[in-house]
Amino acid sequence: MLARKQTSIKVDPRAWNEAKDIFKKYNLTVSDAINIFLNKVRLKKGMPFDVKLPQKNGSSYIDELRKRDISIDKDIDVDVVINEMNDGLS
């Protein structure tokens, strides 16, 4: 067995507890699951799932309107648009 590296991480306690319960069903510890994740990253040379970063401008919202075939010329509540854009950045 390879030597293990001890580390300390800060995690969301709720996520930790819920994930720990799920891992138990597979007879895994949190350490086992983290090692699986790290090895998947190593083998894929990247994240083992899609990660999308929000765009920092309004173009994504306009693109979404176009996809939905919504007229951009219609009256749109600016506050709603700004709130939706801000939600996408958080």
Q: Decide: 48 and 37 in contact? Cβ < 8 Å.
A: yes
In a domain, 35, yes or no: yes
Q: How many domains does the chain have?
A: 2
Q: What is the pLDDT of residue 35?
A: 93
Q: Which domain holds residue 65?
A: 59-89
Residue ranges in the chain modelled with pLDDT below 70: 1, 53-62, 64-66, 68-79, 81, 85, 88-90
Q: What is the pLDDT of residue 2?
A: 76
In a domain, 18, yes or no: yes
- On whether the pTM is more than 0.75, the answer is no
Interior/surface letters 40-72, b for 16+ CB within 10 angstroms, e for the rest: eeeeeeeeeeeeeeeeeeeeebeeeeeeeeeee
In a domain, 83, yes or no: yes
Q: Decide: 41 and 48 in contact? Cβ < 8 Å.
A: yes
In a domain, 8, yes or no: no
